[in-house]
Amino acid sequence: MDYNERPSLPMDELRHAVGDDPEGLTAADDLHAAWQSETPDRKTIEGHVDRLRGIRDAEAVVLNWWESPRVQSIVKNLTDAQL
């Protein structure tokens, strides 16, 4: 799989959604780092997504990205590769 084809995380939207919430900003940055990693880990990425889902204003932004077919295809490939 070519990880360069990963869809971009909507960081500007996420940062706007979490506002000044330090935990939300950290969760967004952690998700971004995990997603851009040379060896992304599905469980780590899912954990950061779950953290952001717990922040009301960020939930819709992260879910729209997370549930996109391209992201899910990549996550499936990560899962398959880790078997």
pLDDT of residue 60: 95
CA separation for the pair 3, 59 (Å, rounded): 25
pLDDT digits (tens, 9 = 90+) for 46-69: 999 999 999 989 999 999 999 999
pLDDT of residue 22: 94
pLDDT category, 13, cuts 50, 70, 90? very high
- Pure H helices in the chain: 11-18, 22-36, 42-53, 56-66, 69-81
Whether the per-residue pLDDT at 28 is higher than 80: the answer is yes
Average pLDDT over residues 17-24: 94
pLDDT of residue 2: 52
Per-residue b or e along 34-57, where b marks 16 or more CB atoms closer than 10 Å to that residue's CB: bbeeeebebebbeebbebbeebee
